[in-house]
Amino acid sequence: MLADRYGLPISTDSPTARDAYIAGVDCVLSAAHGAEAHLARALMAQPDLAVAHAGLARAHFLMANVGEARASIAKAREHAATATPREQAHVDALCLAMEGKPVEALVATRAHLTAYPRDAMVAAPATGVFGLIGFSGRRDREPEQVEFLEPLRRHLEDDWWYQSVLAFALEEVGRLDEALVLIERSMATNAKNAHGAHIKAHVLYEMGDDRAGLAYLDSWLPSYPREGLMHCHISWHVAMFALTLGQTERAWQVYEKAVRPGGAWGPALNVATDSPAFLWRAELAGHPRRESEWRDIRDYAQKSFPRAGIAFIDVHRALACVAAGDADGLAAIAADLKQRVESGRSVTGDVVPRLAAGLEAYGRGDWKAAIATLEPVLVETVRIGGSRAQRDLIENTLLAAYIKDGRPATARFLVEHRVDRRPSTPVAGLT
């Protein structure tokens, strides 16, 4: 029996299967293009390799290829029956996360990592701002992410994947200097790690170094395939850095070519959230509304996510309706959200309906109502998931409302009293 890159035995004696599996896993962990091809090659050499089926399911799942993911999940569970106990637990934890059972998946993940702390593939779905913890809806999910990763440090401290995800967790709690050291170590080992490049952009953003962030992504992104999982979102960061630095023409070019529906190549989750996030921030910075763009993203989001259920997406769906002037669409989303809250199915409580109401008030120019709604819920936005940089959309909207309501001093006070972060704030009238 051979072992993977982390020294964990896998049920194969085929070097071809082992090498292809390792390559596929590394692609998944780094968001490199080609994971599906590598894992398919592993399964050609070893058709009953349960962990490879689970890895292939994860690769399909991340790209939102739902049918393919389900088929691979079924194969993984079928072949896990004759695999080792470690592989059985590995498959179970990964599959639970893809089967819409996040609570059970996180319990299984924690138990598995207690026994096998070097199993990065199992740990990965619980990391990041869109993971099992990131989308848990809990108020303390940012420090919880650090607490989840810290026990693995002595087992994985020299691993490029671990260094990158820990850097992200530390950055999100304001430990920026530690995060920068870790992400630079990670990228020095694996410069092609797309997650790592993305995380370094976040660290530089939080440090307020937009120029360095843009220069870094300009040097890194050209070699990353357009088909890569992170291409759309990293392009969003490029567009946002450019917008903040006053490179308006470039910001819109990047948006058109690599972020908006029809231009981006990537999972619907990124397109449906990054597109309205850019358009809204551009307006907050003083640029005129592009109504046709808003109608396009409203239609795209409605088609891709016709029902509420993922808080981070729901906020952006509501935002698209507000900007598109779609009162009926917003009312439908609000009714759906209300039903989820009343039935107890919303892990974020009433945060999303409150945010939607605040954005709607801003959209119709009722600055006082927007302030009254967004002010008390601002601290709760952590519950919707996403990064600090992404949730700045809400803070920036509140800042703009203060300014439009004739309260620029209040806006400046909020910016000056941020804790452990120094991001730029491109809001018109904020000096």
- Taking residues 17-43, report their average pLDDT: 98
Can you give the pLDDT at residue 163? 98
The structure tokens listed for 287 are: 């640029």
412-426, pLDDT tens digit by residue?
Answer: 999 999 989 999 999
For residue 256, what pLDDT band results from cuts at 50, 70 and 90?
very high
Asked if 309 contacts 385 with a C-beta cutoff of 8 angstroms, the reply is no
Distances (CA, A) of 327 to 280, 288, 421: 17, 21, 36
Can you give the pLDDT at residue 48? 98
2-126 CATH = 1.25.40
Helix/strand/coil for 2:
strand
Among all chains, which residue has been given the structure tokens 């569970």? 77
264-284, pLDDT tens digit by residue?
Answer: 988 999 999 999 999 999 999
Asked if 133 contacts 139 with a C-beta cutoff of 8 angstroms, the reply is no
Q: Is the pLDDT of residue 431 over 90?
A: no
Helix/strand/coil for 65:
coil
Alpha-carbon distance of 153 to 202, in angstroms, equals: 22
Can you give the pLDDT at residue 266? 85
**377-382 long-range Cβ contacts below 8 angstroms, 24+ apart:** 377/351, 380/139, 380/349, 380/351, 380/354, 381/351, 381/355, 382/139, 382/141, 382/142
Can you give the pLDDT at residue 83? 98
For residue 131, what pLDDT band results from cuts at 50, 70 and 90?
very high
Q: Is the pLDDT of residue 343 over 90?
A: yes
The structure tokens listed for 201 are: 């952009």
Distances (CA, A) of 135 to 12, 168, 194, 310, 313: 35, 15, 21, 8, 11
**Exposed, middle or buried: residue 263 (CB in 10 Å: 0-12, 13-18, 19+)?**
middle
Q: Residue 375: CB partners within 8 Å, gap ≥ 6?
A: 398
Can you give the pLDDT at residue 17? 98
